[in-house]
Amino acid sequence: IVVDPFDYVVFGGTGDLARRKLLPALYHRDLDGQIPDEARIIGVSRKPQSDKAYRELVKEALEAHLKPEEMDKKVLQRFLARCFFVGCDATSEAGWPDLAATLEAGKDRIRAFYLATSPDLFGPICDNIGKHNLITEQTRVVVEKPLGKDLASAKATNDEVGRIFKEEQIYRIDHYLGKETVQNLMALRFANALFEPLWDNAYIDHVQITVAESLGVEGRGDYYDTSGALRDMVQNHILQLLCLVAMEAPSSMDADAVRDEKLKVLKSLKPITDGDVNTVTVRGQYKSGVNEQGVVPGYLDEVSNKSSKTETFVAIKAEVGNWRWAGVPFYLRTGKRLATRVSEIVVAFKEIPHSIFGEAVPANELVIRLQPDEGVKLWLMIKDPGPGGLRLKRVALDMTFANAFKVRNPDAYERLLLDVVRGNATLFMRRDEVEQAWTWIDPILQAWKESDKAPKPYMSGSWGPDEARDLIRADVPTREWHE
């Protein structure tokens, strides 16, 4: 369905995120015929350049990040003709009257400001947007992570944006929420009667959420070294996944109905304090090694601070303190340079109460694979076929998206960018959610800082430090990470 006419103003329009994600995503939506004729994409950055030069940059970005078979000459021409450029300085007057003049031509359209810049520019950009009267009835602003490095800075950033925009105009991106398989979590849980009666501490033994990457910090060492895995992945993506697994059914898909339920989960997270930080969290940092990327250097070889104590791996035993989840550990794990790239959620059910088979019977597991090889597997016990005795075998009911649907898996940004135009905030984070997540994260950061311990080393290509294995075995010695 074609969306309403819009002007997308991308601050940081020549930057990495725009080139790698935003422009290819909008191109794909154009390819699918969802972008109306009048729509414009207005790249903004400090150094002035012509529309022609910007279109050249856009073309190169598309060629670099799309498959050759996705490049359609006619659509490409159409897409490039939508792209304009305005040189504008976030922190001064320079260029703002030009931007105002460019936007004047589209004053009745939906207007989206995408702040794909460093967060310290959010405040100055918003102030200038306000000062130059660029906010119409139909205006939205999209902000990218990192939204703060702790609760205080997140509040400060939210205040800066909130001074100019109303909460319902603010779209905070967590790109994990735009992933097909993450959206599918809602379908799986709330469109099937099958799981919900079993979805609690009576039947679920524990939950594992893994987001493993094989890449290292790539060119982002400077940013990453001030962040670390807890801030970069857990505060946002992993806690959002946990919310989707643990939340109560919202009354509808309405943005606030969904976000109210997620907020309740975040508020129910048991605080991790100084006393238990060493038993329920593990920090790691990768050494050189070999993984699916080949022979790779260690973290300290890749960042400028050679004595950095920043973690590139974290494992946490989290608990959701409410009636549904009391006593069910949520094991969270993420890291860079691990053995392979895999994101998945494992819901491990309890064992049957009594075996009549003369042998222990492994428990059922629901494995939701978010990426790659997206799919859902439900591990069941069946009779091993054959004339012999009744022997059991573990098999999976296996649904792989690629086999079940012969369609391209759209990138998360495709959905999110157009949801902004549609005014649908369900897949975006509300202010209180972001701040509540920091409220849980802050004491962990604080306790780590006070203990001043170096992260545990792990070999690139492994599954993280041994201590992560000890963490999951601590409660039940036979419990293992799903690998």
- Binding site members for NADP(+): 12-19, 46, 145
How far the first Cα of the chain sits from its last, in Å, is 40
**Measured from the CB of residue 336, what is the shortest distance to ligand BG6 in angstroms?**
7
Q: What DSSP letter does each residue of 166-191 carry, written as one string?
A: -GGGEEE--GGGGSHHHHHHHHHHHS
Please give the DSSP secondary-structure letter assigned to residue 431: H
Of 244, 255, 316, residue with least CA distance to 280 = 316
**Measured from the CB of residue 245, what is the shortest distance to ligand BG6 in angstroms?**
17
**Which CB sits closer to ligand BG6, 141 or 412?**
412
**Partner residues linked to 382 by β-bridges:** 393
335 three-class SS: strand
Give the Cα separation of 299 and 286 in Å (integer). Answer: 6
Tell me how many residues contact ligand BG6 (CB under 6 A).
Answer: 3
Please give the DSSP secondary-structure letter assigned to residue 131: H
Give the Cα separation of 219 and 453 in Å (integer). Answer: 26
**Measured from the CB of residue 380, what is the shortest distance to ligand BG6 in angstroms?**
29
Residue 232 makes contact with ligand BG6 by CB under 6 A: yes
73 three-class SS: helix
Label residue 356 exposed, middle or buried (CB < 10 Å: 0-12, 13-18, 19+): exposed
44 three-class SS: strand
Residue 414 makes contact with ligand BG6 by CB under 6 A: no
- 99 sits in which H/E element: helix 96-104
**Measured from the CB of residue 215, what is the shortest distance to ligand BG6 in angstroms?**
6
Of 366-395, binders to ligand BG6 (CB under 6 A) are: none
**Which CB sits closer to ligand BG6, 134 or 368?**
368
Q: Does residue 434 contact residue 147 with C-beta atoms inside 8 Å?
A: yes
**Measured from the CB of residue 411, what is the shortest distance to ligand BG6 in angstroms?**
9
Binding mask 141-170 for ligand BG6 (x = CB under 6 A): ----x-------------------------
Of 159, 179, 129, residue with least CA distance to 11 = 129
Q: What DSSP letter does each residue of 365-400 carry, written as one string?
A: EEEEEEESS-EEEEEEEEEPPSSSS--EEEEEEEEE
Provide the annotated binding site for substrate.
Answer: 175, 179, 213, 232, 336
**Which CB sits closer to ligand BG6, 411 or 419?**
411
**Which CB sits closer to ligand BG6, 7 or 419?**
419
**Which CB sits closer to ligand BG6, 109 or 179?**
179
Residue with token string 């995503």: 25
Pairs from 17-21 (Cβ < 8 Å, separation ≥ 24):
17/116, 17/144, 18/43, 18/61, 18/116, 19/57, 19/61, 19/64, 19/65, 20/61, 20/65, 21/175, 21/411, 21/413
Of 248-307, binders to ligand BG6 (CB under 6 A) are: none
Give the Cα separation of 325 and 131 in Å (integer). Answer: 48
Q: Which residue is nearest to ligand BG6 (CB)?
A: 232
Structure tokens of 49? 């350049």
Q: Which residues 6+ apart lie within 8 Å of 21 measured at CB?
A: 175, 411, 413
Assess whether 206 carries a catalytic annotation: no
**Which CB sits closer to ligand BG6, 29 or 145?**
145
**Which CB sits closer to ligand BG6, 219 or 353?**
219
What backbone phi and psi angles, to 5 degrees, belong to 402?
-60, -35
Q: Which of 213, 225, 311, 344 binds ligand BG6 (CB under 6 A)?
A: 213
**Which CB sits closer to ligand BG6, 7 or 213?**
213
Buried b / exposed e across 55-80, counting CB within 10 Å, b at 16+? bebbbebbeebbeeeeeeeebbeebb
Residue 411 makes contact with ligand BG6 by CB under 6 A: no
Residue 216 one-letter amino acid: G
Q: Which of 206, 237, 354, 482 is catalytic?
A: 237
**Measured from the CB of residue 65, what is the shortest distance to ligand BG6 in angstroms?**
13
Neighbours of 193 (CB within 10 A): 7
**Measured from the CB of residue 423, what is the shortest distance to ligand BG6 in angstroms?**
24
**Measured from the CB of residue 343, what is the shortest distance to ligand BG6 in angstroms?**
6
Contact residues for ligand BG6, defined by CB under 6 A: 145, 213, 232
- Catalytic sites, residue numbers: 237
